[in-house]
Amino acid sequence: MKRVALIAAGLVLAGCGGKIDGGALEGEITKDAEERGIVIDGVDCPSPDTEMGATFTCTITVKGQDSEFDVVQTDDNGNVSYDFGGVVEGPAVNDTEADKASIDAVIDTIGKDITALCDYATREFRKELAADQSCTQAVLAKYESPLIEDYQLSVDGDNAAATDDTRTVTFERQKNGSWLITDIR
C-alpha cells in the first residue's frame, strides 16, 4: 500500500517577494514527519527565491543516509507542498546496530510484561494470537516471561529473527522504522 502524505504547509514561509525561509521549512518538515511517525535524523533546506510552481530540493537524513526531498512552491506567498512517499517507501537503510537496539528493546519490554506482546505484534499476528479471545488472554495462556532468553539476532533488510534454544521470534520493520513481531515459533 502506497502511503503518500502530501502536505500543503498552510504557512507563509516567505520573507518578502517569494523567498522561502529554509529554517522555518526544516522545522515544519520535521514536525510533519514526527506527526506521521516517520523517524528522521535531520533535514536541510535552502532559502531560495522562487515563484509559484517552482520546485527545489531539501536533503532529508534517515538513519544516517541522505536523500533528496522535493518541495513545490504552491503560490507566490511562499506556501509549499511536499510528499513523504519517497521517504517512507524507500529502501531499507542499513543501520544494523540501531535495528538490533530497537529489537532488543522490544524483547526486553515483553520480558518484563508478556502482555506487551499484544502492543508489539502486527495486526495480522494479533488476530492469529487472539482467535476467539482477547489478545491479552491469549498471550497469558500461551506464553510466559521471559518470552526469549540468550538469543541470537539476525537482521536482513526489513526482516529480523531472534532465536534461542526454544523458539524464534520474527520481526518486520514498519514504514515508520519501528519493529513489530510477525510470528513466534
Supply the pLDDT for residue 125: 94
Distance of alpha carbon 181 from alpha carbon 169, whole angstroms:
7
Mean pLDDT of the chain: 81
User: Which pTM does this prediction carry?
Assistant: 0.51
The upper half-sphere exposure of residue 53, i.e. CA atoms within 13 Å in the direction of its Cβ, equals 0
Q: Which cell is 148 given?
A: 526469549
Residue 11 has pLDDT above 50, yes or no: no
pLDDT digit string, tens, across residues 41-88: 889 999 888 788 888 889 888 777 788 888 888 887 778 888 876 665
